[in-house]
Structure 1
Amino acid sequence: MDVIDRNMLAILQRDARITISELSKELALSRPSVAERLHRLQEKGVIEEFTARVSLPALGKDILLVILVSGLKVSIEDFEQFVKKEEEIIECHRVTGEVSYYLKAAVSNMNSMRLLIDRLIPYGSINTSTVLASPVPYRHLVP
């Protein structure tokens, strides 16, 4: 990966909807060259997908939670199947240490939070924190 690839990644993370023409102008490369580099970065798995980041509050999900799950009472497979089906859980990370999983969830109100916690309780020990602020909600990565 060279400087041009890094610049391309930075631009694409700012605006994944940029056209090949606009990208070629910003990088001072021909459109075929930009398209080839873009395709190569996708083939290598550097670019996994193009997506839209959605505002949680705009969707009525005003409460962001970080949930720690420890002491699983079911198999890993059963827990992970449950988590995959729960639409309010927007991230799930299996980790090392005393805590088994870190979950990130977005809910619309306190009642939704209570119901989610109630659904999680049969799976293990649950410790929930409400996010007050996110100084770094997402970071663009460039190698």
Structure 2
Amino acid sequence: MDNIDRKMLEILQEDSRITIIDLAKKLNLSRPSVNERFRRLQEKGIIEGFTARISHEKIGKGTLVIIQIGNLKVVCHKFEEIVKEEKAILECHRVTGSDSYFMKAVVSSTKELEELVDRLVPYGQLNTSVVLSSPVSNRTLLPEDEFLHKN
């Protein structure tokens, strides 16, 4: 990985729908060279895939919630199976510390949040926080300079 790969990752995170032709122009490279670099980044697992970012507010899910759960009453793999079935939960992370899991969810109303909490509370001690704003969201992720020189 070099600075060109780093720039490619930056451009792709800003606009994953960019054409190879436009990407090649921005990088001052030939299309075959960009294709080769792109393929290599995918094969190494650096580029895991592409997706669309959806505004939860614009689809009627206006409340973003952070849920922490600790003191689990079931084994972790059982809780993970349950959480995978909860459509409101966007992310679930097993973490260290006093809580076992940190989750991000979206709901359309306080009633829907209450129902989600009611479904989760039998599995442990919950702490919920409603997100008021997100000053940092979908930040571009790039390798550190030290990583570039090692690889």
TM interval, shorter chain, is over 0.9
Alignment of 1:58-69 (within 5 A): 58-69=58-69
Secondary structure of the corresponding residue to residue 78 of structure 1: helix
Give the C-alpha shift of residue 142 in structure 1. Answer: 1.2
Distance 2:115 2:51 in 1: 29
Q: How many residues are paired up?
A: 143
Give the TM-score, by structure 1 length.
Answer: 0.98
Give the C-alpha shift of residue 27 in structure 1. Answer: 0.5
| Partner residue, 1:137 | 137
- Deviations 1:37-76, CA, capped at 9 Å, x for gaps: 0000000011011111111101111000000100000111
Q: Work out whether 1:26 is the aligned partner of 2:33.
A: no
| Partner residue, 2:101 | 101
Give the C-alpha shift of residue 138 in structure 1. Answer: 1.7
Secondary structure of the corresponding residue to residue 68 of structure 1: strand
Secondary structure of the corresponding residue to residue 100 of structure 1: strand
Give the C-alpha shift of residue 104 in structure 1. Answer: 0.4
Give the TM-score, by structure 2 length.
Answer: 0.93
Distance 2:66 2:6 in 1: 32
Instruction: Note the residue ranges of structure 2 that are not aligned, 5 or more in a row.
Output: 144-151
Distance 1:43 1:11 in 2: 19
Q: Work out whether 1:81 is the aligned partner of 2:100.
A: no
Distance 1:109 1:128 in 2: 14
Give the C-alpha shift of residue 77 in structure 1. Answer: 1.1
Distance 1:107 1:13 in 2: 27
Question: Letter of the aligned partner of 2:14 in structure 1?
Answer: R
| Partner residue, 2:42 | 42
Q: Work out whether 1:112 is the aligned partner of 2:112.
A: yes
Question: Letter of the aligned partner of 2:44 in structure 1?
Answer: K
Secondary structure of the corresponding residue to residue 113 of structure 1: helix
| Partner residue, 1:90 | 90
Distance 2:29 2:103 in 1: 42
Secondary structure of the corresponding residue to residue 96 of structure 2: coil
